Amino acid sequence: MKAIIVIGVVFVVTACSSMDTVKPWDKDLLAKQSMQPVPDFFENFYDEHIYFSKEASSGGQSVGGGGCGCN
């Protein structure tokens, strides 16, 4: 598993390095709310909370979300 992760990360970083740099004046679309990784804070928050309570997996997006009894 670890080998797969290392190979994957190296591959991704290498592939990403081939990207052309996007200039600041070309970031009009990227600046839109809909283009943010989390465009709706509470929609994401509610999803994280529900699935944390109902599934055995959690996390992955960030750290420091806080705890919950969630029976």
d(CA 6, CA 44): 29
Of 3 and 31, nearer to another protein (C-beta) is: 31
Separation in Å, CA 65 to CA 11, 22, 24, 38, 43: 30, 32, 32, 15, 15
Does residue 3 bind another protein (CB under 8 A)?
no
- Give the count of beta carbons closer than 10 Å to the beta carbon of residue 58: 14
**Minimum CB–partner distance for residue 3 and another protein (Å):** 13
Site for another protein in 12-71 (CB under 8 A): 12-13, 15-24, 26-47, 49-51, 54-69, 71
| Residues near another protein, by CB under 8 A | 1, 5, 8-9, 11-13, 15-24, 26-47, 49-51, 54-69, 71
